[in-house]
A and B are shown apart, each in its own frame.
Chain A
């Protein structure tokens, strides 16, 4: 806050630097130019750029995209008997250390914001489903639109795919709706695509996202869409408000596909580098889970790298997960002779007891989830975007539906926000709060994406202080 006040004051140095940038911009492509103009408006990061610091986006920069990465069943938080959390970082904003569960993020410590003291509120505290309902809606009982859906229909609406919801065994055994975290309308969830092959087909194959890059729109498909739109309008005129709002969601979806079809192939990648060979036939074989999640993660990154979407949700399994994580060959919790499920391990008991199998496995499992998140960040960081990488221009939220898996509480939520969001966020810090709502973090993410979102959730929370630069 202080820094911004300081930096926005014009100074000789600033004016000098702006002039230099304008001169540089003449030699840049259009995209760079736009970024340069953005930089010129706000001086802080620009100064660092001009003075040879790490290339970062403007303070009021916008995140190009957001990914919500969900894993089930919480973390090793404070134990029932009062032992300290094994998840939450300790220290000050700029000088802090990561506990064991977050170790896989050590290489990305400077890319992440860590949080202490964020709450989802008291309603349903103690419950997995209650937490999952609030996680992205910030509304008790899930009676609200989730942030991913809101962003998809606003700032993400111009992308070929407004929303990409990929899962790994997230629909297992006909999971009930309260196990899914994306709410297009209050109280109603949609289901993720659990099959990487189908997701690939949708994005890059014969679905409307792919096709011949040289060909125009398929004229027949255009005729078909127009015909369907005609029927939609006729039907809509016959409906009452409730059914109309349902049909409007359908209509929006149809418009999205129409745009994809009428503008011809939309993706900028013809031959996306996603290897699905490792994905076995049985999507619900727990031994196959790591390969499925890996493929879905790769697809998510690839879709975003190709400019196909700006809003993504990756859902790993679902709450109270029956996923047998001891079947993950090569992982540290692998044990073919003993089945340890996620939810089973989460009830490790009242204490952090290293000698207890559930506890030991639970720690390993949580580390594994974090390592998967870390992999996602690696992939984003490996792809150039503008002056930096996709991680610089993105925001990625690591989230789960409860704090400690044994107590199920909704306070001190284990959330990690990664990426610089195009300069909207300055990561590498530990932010501590006194029970502020996580809704404020969601509002901040929304604003970083450019959404007009003064508040979010039923707590009416504005952007959490300290998150946005």
Chain B
């Protein structure tokens, strides 16, 4: 049989199994029940390219590249030998760690994919992205319901050129119109009474009471027209204490703020207690999606918004109907705020008016005349207007037009589709705000302003400049880093008696704040995330980290330039250190894999059979010593070369993220090597001695930047990139680099790339 051409294989990989036996004979000791008889033989015709694509991404891409361009393994794109030979190679020898993983039909599927689709695509202008219905995630559903029903639409503000043209204390100038400041933002005003100062800054619980602007004090700006110093800052809801600092020497309470408290050194601090008004009543605390099933996240796709996995089950429907009923009842309790018209004057006209205007916001597109009639008749057909509106709301909120945002598009005339302008508006607002488009964005769609990249860019920049973008980017970061679970993580009460849930919550907040700060207030550069020598902490977290100067529940920017985390950015965050650890010990493996998979996009295949477990805690050994077998055993070393030497760099931090100078009385060696940082098999060595040095290696690597670009692309698009996206991605990467790796520019590049709007 072997001599025949083309070479054919039994459907089930009996031969591959024998190979596996030769490599790891003990592995097959679990019974001898491998009873696959030789079935029909395989050829390329048996291969399914779409299954092959998934298999390739999971099993092959790490070594051979997403587009088959090669890496740890050789390039496979452009395979020039017979296709059956490719099946044979895959069946018998791939993946090398465990050749039994992909045999038979799996091998045929992968081969078919390599020969069919691996050449990449998109550069010739052909469309690439899949058409999708994207189910709102639980967080998107909640935000959308809140914005749709419980936030009064902003009054059309007065035209402005700068904040000073508006009511300075409560408004900002946004897109040339005065707009009310969002909840959590405070305007500090200081009237110098004609004096001028070289410097006026705000210091308080929110920024760690810095004595100088250089140390993190928030500088106030003199507005000459008004004769006052002004600063708008997002200090957040809750109680804060602060002072103004004149010329970095004279600390005074805010003369305009009557609320003060004793400052403990004989003076007074000004006190600010920010609470948010909720028009419509309690919208912010609404959690109508609480009963919805948890989102399914395909392996390798770390986000909650995967389009393919967003299926609606009967449990979803049940909970959607229930949520719609609850939300609608709450909304009609304040009917006046909901209606654009007087129902008593002309009920039918008002019903149509409401259906059209509200429907446009609920469905994020104008309703067709038939739809207006449908919803208007639901309203007028009810016992009274309020009950009618309630029913209409319940239908709309359970309608697929509300629950999904469509990325279907319209025929572009070349056999492809382009998203409609309204679809673009939704794609933008959910990408940057995690919620429905505002009226301005819908108006832009209506005016046809989103039909080219330039128009999209204008709106993208407006959305990114809005405070709503900040929490969304924080959410992205938590999912990118995989640290959402930190608030519910378990630590051993015996090993770590000091651990408490509030610490996990503080760690989540720390990471969120740093990311938001870097992107929106700091340099905006990706590198700063990895290199920041400051962080944000409340008293509890600062105490845990051993950082002085922060007390109480408020978060403040802290600087600890000589501390062990300084210059390691997020890598020194408890959220990462404690998430990627066990309950009773650190885990160099999990931390190493975290860096490879999340930060460098270098996923590993599954560990081989017989992979050992975690060595038991040996009171006399360091963690590093206990894991030595990984590098001494050849089969382990294949992958662990890339994991352990990197993960050891975190060893100065225990499983709760606390610094430790020694482990069980023995000195800790946190040196290591980020070998092959640009890709497995690239043959480079990058030794480091400390965590900040490790961070510096990552921050200067191409792989980390490209990976971040991929991560942002996935989160924005709702799917794991395919080879067909590579051309668009190359362009996105180039724009990211040209913008000095400014994260906001990356996001603009993604939404202005052709793949954002074009569908196959």
Contacts and interface: CB of A to CB of B under 8 A. Distances in A.
Interface of A: 77-82, 85, 88, 116-119, 121-130, 140-141, 143, 161-163, 165, 171-178, 180, 184-185, 187-191, 193-194, 198, 201-202, 206-209, 220-221, 223-225, 227-228, 230-232, 235, 238-240, 242-243, 246-247, 249-250, 252-254, 256-257, 282, 284-286, 322, 324, 336-339, 341, 343-350, 357-358, 403-404, 406-409, 411-412, 433-436, 458
A143 B317 CA distance: 25
B391 A77 contact: no
A124 B54 CA distance: 14
Nearest to A207: B318
A228 B313 contact: no
A257 B317 contact: yes
Contacts of A404: 29-30
Interface string B297-339: 1111110100011011111111101101100000000000000
Contacts of A80: 26-27, 29, 610
B750 to A, nearest CB: 23
A388 to B, nearest CB: 30
23 contacts: A117-B35, A119-B34, A119-B36, A122-B12, A123-B106, A124-B606, A127-B606, A143-B51, A177-B296, A184-B313, A190-B293, A193-B315, A206-B322, A238-B408, A253-B313, A253-B317, A338-B494, A341-B582, A344-B614, A345-B613, A409-B28, A411-B31, A433-B35
Given A125-B100, A240-B131, A403 B30 contact: yes
A246 B316 CA distance: 14
Interface in B601-634: 606, 608-614, 616
A406 B294 contact: no
Contacts of B313: 163, 184, 190, 249, 253
Contacts of B105: 123, 140, 458
Contacts of A201: 291
Nearest to A253: B314
A125 B490 CA distance: 31
Contacts of B294: 171, 174, 191, 194
A80 to B, nearest CB: 5
Contact of A176 (B12, B297, B400): B297
A347 B617 CA distance: 15
Given A117-B35, A119-B35, A231-B400, A188 B308 contact: yes
B616 A357 contact: yes
A130 B296 contact: no
B299 A122 contact: no
B309 A81 contact: no
A343 B613 contact: yes
Given A176-B297, A224-B394, A256 B317 contact: yes
B299 A176 contact: yes
Contacts of B35: 117, 119, 433-436
B374 A227 contact: yes
A120 to B, nearest CB: 10
Contacts of A231: 395, 399-401
Contacts of B31: 77-78, 85, 88, 116-117, 403, 409, 411-412
Contact of B311 (A190, A349, A358): A190
Nearest to B398: A228
A338 B13 CA distance: 43
B507 interface: no
B533 to A, nearest CB: 30
Interface residues of B, number: 91
Contacts of B34: 119, 122, 411, 435
Nearest to A189: B296
B6 interface: no
Nearest to B394: A224
- The 3 A-B pairs of least Cβ separation, nearest first, read A435-B35, A347-B613, A412-B31
B609 A126 contact: yes
B492 interface: yes
Given A173-B579, A176-B297, 6 more contacts: A126-B608, A206-B322, A253-B312, A346-B613, A407-B27, A407-B29
Given A231-B399, A284-B488, A411-B30, A358 B299 contact: no
Interface in B674-692: none
B606 A243 contact: no
A441 B230 CA distance: 74
A310 to B, nearest CB: 14
Interface in B469-494: 482, 484-485, 488-490, 492-494
A346 B17 CA distance: 24
A380 to B, nearest CB: 23
Nearest to B31: A412
A59 to B, nearest CB: 28
A140 B106 contact: yes
A131 B28 CA distance: 15
Most buried by A among B28, B313, B325, B492: B313
A118 B30 CA distance: 11
B609 A409 contact: yes
B324 A224 contact: yes
A121 B12 contact: yes
B485 A178 contact: no
A240 B104 CA distance: 32
Contacts of A246: 133, 311
A408 B432 CA distance: 43
A78 B291 contact: no
Contacts of B492: 339
A235 B29 contact: no
Contact of B298 (A117, A176, A184, A209): A176
Contacts of A347: 611-614
Given A126-B100, A246-B311, A223 B321 contact: no
Contacts of B616: 357-358
B128 to A, nearest CB: 15
A324 B316 contact: no
Contacts of A173: 484-485, 488-489, 579
B279 to A, nearest CB: 26
B295 A235 contact: no
A250 B322 contact: no
Interface string B127-145: 0001111000000000000
A411 B400 contact: no
A151 to B, nearest CB: 15
Nearest to B493: A336
A143 to B, nearest CB: 5
Contacts of A209: 318
A78 B302 CA distance: 35
Contacts of B324: 224
Interface string B19-34: 0000000111111111
Given A190-B311, A202-B315, A243-B132, A409 B27 contact: yes
Given A117-B35, A121-B36, A193-B315, A232 B613 contact: no
Contacts of B245: none
B16 interface: yes
A456 B257 CA distance: 74
B584 to A, nearest CB: 4
A117 B33 contact: yes
A339 B30 contact: no
Contact of B408 (A165, A187, A243, A358): A243
Contact of A126 (B317, B606, B612): B606
Nearest to A230: B374
A139 to B, nearest CB: 9
Given A177-B299, A191-B295, A228-B395, A247 B400 contact: yes
Given A285-B490, A337-B494, A224 B133 contact: no
B98 interface: yes
A79 B291 contact: no
A139 B416 CA distance: 33
B378 interface: yes
Nearest to B759: A240
A240 B416 CA distance: 13
A339 B584 contact: yes
A211 to B, nearest CB: 12
